[in-house]
Amino acid sequence: MPISMSVKTLDYTPAYPPYPSLWMAGYGGAPRGNQGLVDRRLRAQCIVIDDGAGPKVMLRIDVVSIPRYVHQAIRSGVTPLVDDHDGNFLIICSHTHSGPFIGTTRPNPYVMMSLTPADVSAIEDTTDVFIAQMIELVEQTLAMARTQVTLWYKEGNASIGYNRTGEPNVLSTINALIARRTSDNGLHTVLFGYACHAVARGNDRYFCSDFPGAATDVISNALGVQALFFQGAAGDQEPNDPHSPGQVTNLGTILGNAVVAMVNSGGWTAVTGPISTYYEELSLPLTVDLGDPAAVIRARNSYSDRLDNLPPSDFAYRHAEVMLEEIAGVGLPRVFPMPIQRWKMGGLNIFAMSHEVLSEYAVKLRNQTPGNLWVMAYANETEGYVAANGILQDGGAVRWGYEAGWIDNPEISGEATWTTFYPWPAPLKFSPSGPAAPGTTERVVLDASTAMLNL
């Protein structure tokens, strides 16, 4: 089945105006805002792939995260353009920590940086500009003339990071999908993926697309085509030290050169249509049933204690304020929504998971799935970490409980863990000992993912 493609890149690096706010996301602590300093510019890139049965759209963005309501706003503007089928539209964030703060819910700018209501309002106005830009980019790419292409898939390796939780999984696989023009077999586009936190630069006030942007530049400059980076299950994958502006170039050059070498050599597998797409939203359980009034009372008492015992400058104090406001108002969330998505093609499956998924999920899914499987993460929305059962069991014993979301009490958010910053009232459900039991986070995610991959 013939496949056609169009690709468009937007330099969306925020500037004032039109962006009302230049607050930056990725790191908590002192208020962090950009004042016009740019190292590597931020891209939003859209690719339309048409297999003859209608367009399928990927939108990848140099941004640390997109909360659920922003994802839903972009999706509501795009799905009518792709046959009203959620599976036909996929968003991936690069997770650079040197980009703008988008959205005001998860993560929460008040909790992270103690921003004033006026500053939070400015972030909301910036988010409106961002949403409009992303929808317009998709509209423009869909309106472009498409080039008939053939698709080819290959995997390679590069070593630019390590597992920061001490687990054995260090993801070094490079996924690459290239498009070649049917008319002359010339290279048209390069899609590539890798799993590593985009924090090589470290914490400063420059906008920067981090090592994914550096790798993209290497590939585009060497091959003369647009290149698009897609983040993997990098929740526990950290770039090699030191974190510095120079390390962005170093690691990006290693990754980019590896992709160029892959493109310039053989061993590619043909990828063919038709493209079947699937989309599902999971409801991950928390460690406590917050539909139980007694559990809500316990949570209220625990968070009230934090207000009594912590200074207002503490992240956990501000998080407790947010939790108590929710208890008094809309109520605490009872589940953790998690979209998953699959694009099924001849010769390749692309499987996309929302949130900061840890590497064990990618390893298990690739080991149990026959054929070529490209696992992406930070897909569609990012509102927290999704760890496997072992890390969830460990709590504060590993990296102060950051990826687990709890320290010494699994019924409430751990101070200065991901459940504080995103913010959630409790960590994700796990089995206290032994393997993951039915109904726990790992089993819900793996069972649903396996079922979707078997469709």
Tell me the mean pLDDT per 10 residues along the chain, length 455.
95 96 96 97 98 97 98 98 97 98 98 98 98 98 98 98 97 98 98 98 98 98 98 98 98 98 98 98 98 98 98 97 98 98 98 98 98 98 98 96 98 97 98 97 98 98
Res 365: pLDDT: 98
The pLDDT, as a whole number, for residue 52 is 95
Cα–Cα nearest to 94, from 135, 59, 61: 61
**What is the DSSP annotation of 36-101?**
S-BSS--EEEEEEEE-SS-EEEEEEESSS---HHHHHHHHHHHGGGTTT-GGGEEEEE---SSSB-
User: Six-digit token pair at 110?
Assistant: 């008040």
CA atoms within 13 A on the CB side of 134: 33
pLDDT at 424: 98
Q: Is 54 left (phi over 0), alpha (psi -120 to 50) or beta?
A: left
What's the pTM? Answer: 0.98
pLDDT digits (tens, 9 = 90+) for 339-365: 999 999 999 999 999 999 999 999 999
Torsion of CA 31, 337, 63, 17, to 10 degrees: -70
Euclidean distance between CA atoms 446 and 455, whole angstroms: 14
Helices of type H across 329-414: 359-368, 389-394
Rounded Cα–Cα distance for residues 60 and 132 (Å): 15
Q: What is the CB neighbour count within 10 angstroms for residue 287? A: 22
Q: Supply the pLDDT for residue 434.
A: 96
Rounded CA separation 445/448 (Å): 5
89/421 Cα distance (integer angstroms): 28
Q: How many CB atoms lie within 10 A of CB 376?
A: 25
pLDDT value at residue 18? 93
Closest CA to 52 of 101, 111, 115, 3: 3
Rounded Cα gap, residues 49 and 58, in angstroms: 8
